[in-house]
């Protein structure tokens, strides 16, 4: 049966304007990188997606290679979308990307026009959509002229297969150059997607400035550092956690130094009357150039806890300084 979205789904979510565009994005967006492949029960995926929509999380982020296996997150999303969300298509803001290895041979990754446009067609077919809201170049390709990659994003928009273009993981100088090309082409360039958390602060070294110059919003991925900035690993590595099961977050991340930092941050969060996860998300959202935190969730409970960041108190200068001090002490690079 089609999901009937709750009547109050827009009552508590907060929306922010994405750069200099007409688009409002929820402060919390949901990504399907993990937990939505064929290795996870479709029932849980469906429950998380339904709850997200009911909480006003209108923005869902995918990529061609999300799974495992690659492509399965888009296919599973397509299944749930067909069952539950088709009547709500215009209430949702759906993104996909191409850039990483998707199929064998010379045309299955990076930034060529050949790869990007074929990949978008494949993504649309897996999801059962006629267009996505954002199509991203997933990574900067140093060997393909930027004109070609930007031209492919422009074509995706002109063909009606994407409404906006986005860039992910581009260095600041490439963002400046790409923005100039997209302006010339009059392509609706909306957003940059980058990692940003208390443990990964690289965007402070130029990406936030380049994005502001280009008039595009920044969406922060892995704002919980894949679960490290939660209570998940404070007392060991749970058997069902990403660190125990996945390949992208491994046990060697959890050094004694890192654990000391996480415990200290957790204490700070308790003092603020919130969970570590909520404080970590609020910290990323403190910068007005960040339009949304792009979280992952393996359960409805995690999603609900994270959306509660909207009730977070602001930070005092002393708290921000303390977070910086603890981070530097634990070896986190501050640009």
| Binding range to ligand NAP, per CB under 6 A, among 17-25, 150-158, 217-225, 257-265 | 217-225
Residue placing its CB nearer to ligand NAP in the complex, 12 or 316? 12
Token readout for 35 is 């937990």
Q: How far is the CB of 191 from ligand NAP (least distance, A)?
A: 11
For strands 217-221 and 162-168, give the pairing: unpaired
Interface with ligand NAP in residues 79-118 (CB under 6 A): none
| Binding range to ligand NAP, per CB under 6 A, among 12-20, 105-113, 127-135, 216-224 | 216-224
Figure out which of the listed residues 58, 65, 168, 312 binds ligand NAP, where binding follows CB under 6 A: 168
32 is an interface residue for ligand NAP by CB under 6 A? yes
Beta strands in 116-231 (DSSP E): 132-137, 162-168, 189-195, 217-221
Reported as type and span, the H/E element at residue 159 is none
Q: How far is the CB of 29 from ligand NAP (least distance, A)?
A: 8
b (16+ CB within 10 A) / e for 273-306: ebbbbbbbbbbbbeeebbbbbbbbbbebebbebb
Q: Helical H runs in 207-308?
A: 207-214, 242-245, 256-271, 276-285, 300-307
76 is an interface residue for ligand NAP by CB under 6 A? no
Compute how many residues bind ligand NAP; rule: CB under 6 A: 31
Q: For residue 174, is the peptide bond before it cis, meaning its omega torsion is within 30 degrees of 0? A: no
Residue placing its CB nearer to ligand NAP in the complex, 112 or 193? 193
Closest CA to 39 of 69, 61, 64: 69
Cα 270 to Cα 266: distance, rounded to the nearest angstrom = 6
Figure out which of the listed residues 52, 116, 216, 294 binds ligand NAP, where binding follows CB under 6 A: 294
Q: Under a CB-based contact definition with an 8 Å cutoff, are residues 13 and 55 in contact?
A: yes
Residue placing its CB nearer to ligand NAP in the complex, 207 or 277? 277
Figure out which of the listed residues 33, 115, 164, 196 binds ligand NAP, where binding follows CB under 6 A: 33
SS (H, E, C) 286-334: CCCCEEEEEECCCCHHHHHHHHHHHHCCCCCHHHHHHHHHHHHHCCCCC
Cα 63 to Cα 77: distance, rounded to the nearest angstrom = 11
Binding mask 34-73 for ligand NAP (x = CB under 6 A): xx-------------------------x------------
| Binding range to ligand NAP, per CB under 6 A, among 16-24, 184-192, 294-302, 323-331 | 294-302
Q: How far is the CB of 229 from ligand NAP (least distance, A)?
A: 7
Phi and psi at 18, nearest 5°, equal -90, 105
Figure out which of the listed residues 45, 76, 230, 292 binds ligand NAP, where binding follows CB under 6 A: 230
Cα 260 to Cα 264: distance, rounded to the nearest angstrom = 6
Binding mask 231-260 for ligand NAP (x = CB under 6 A): xx--------xx------------------
Residue placing its CB nearer to ligand NAP in the complex, 2 or 27? 27
Residue 110 φ/ψ region, left for φ over 0, alpha for ψ in the -120 to 50 degree band, beta for the rest: left
Interaction site with ligand NAP (CB under 6 A): 31-35, 61, 138, 168-169, 193, 221-227, 230-232, 241-242, 277, 294-298, 302, 305-306
């Amino acid at each position: 049966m089609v999901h009937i979205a709750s009547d109050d789904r827009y009552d508590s979510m907060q929306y922010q304007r994405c750069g200099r565009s007409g688009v409002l994005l929820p402060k919390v967006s949901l990504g399907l990188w993990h937990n939505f492949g064929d290795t996870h029960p479709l029932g849980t995926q469906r429950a998380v997606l339904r709850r997200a929509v009911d909480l006003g999380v209108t923005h869902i982020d995918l990529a061609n290679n999300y799974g495992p296996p690659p492509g399965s997150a888009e296919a599973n999303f397509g299944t749930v979308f067909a069952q539950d969300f088709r009547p709500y298509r215009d209430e949702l803001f759906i993104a996909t990307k191409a850039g990483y290895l998707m199929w064998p041979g010379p045309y299955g990754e990076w930034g060529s026009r050949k790869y990007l446009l074929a990949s978008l067609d494949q993504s649309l077919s897996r999801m059962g959509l006629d267009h996505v809201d954002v199509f991203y170049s997933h990574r900067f390709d140093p060997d393909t002229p930027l004109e070609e990659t930007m031209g492919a994003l422009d074509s995706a928009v002109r063909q009606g297969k994407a409404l906006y273009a986005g860039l992910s993981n581009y260095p600041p100088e490439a963002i400046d150059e790409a923005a100039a090309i997209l302006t010339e082409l009059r392509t609706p360039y909306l957003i940059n997607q980058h990692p940003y958390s208390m443990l990964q602060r690289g965007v402070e070294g130029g990406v936030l400035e380049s994005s502001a110059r280009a008039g595009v919003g920044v969406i922060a991925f892995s704002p919980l550092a894949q679960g490290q900035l939660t209570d998940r690993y404070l007392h060991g590595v749970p058997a069902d956690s990403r660190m125990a099961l996945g390949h992208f977050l491994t046990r060697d991340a959890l050094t004694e130094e890192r654990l000391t930092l996480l415990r200290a941050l957790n204490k700070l969060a308790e003092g603020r009357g919130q969970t570590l996860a909520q404080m970590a998300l609020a910290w990323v959202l403190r910068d007005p150039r960040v339009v949304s935190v792009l979280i992952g969730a393996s359960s409805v409970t995690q999603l609900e806890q994270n959306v509660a960041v909207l009730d977070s108190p602001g930070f005092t200068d002393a708290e921000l300084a303390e977070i910086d001090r603890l981070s530097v002490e634990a070896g986190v690079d501050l640009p």
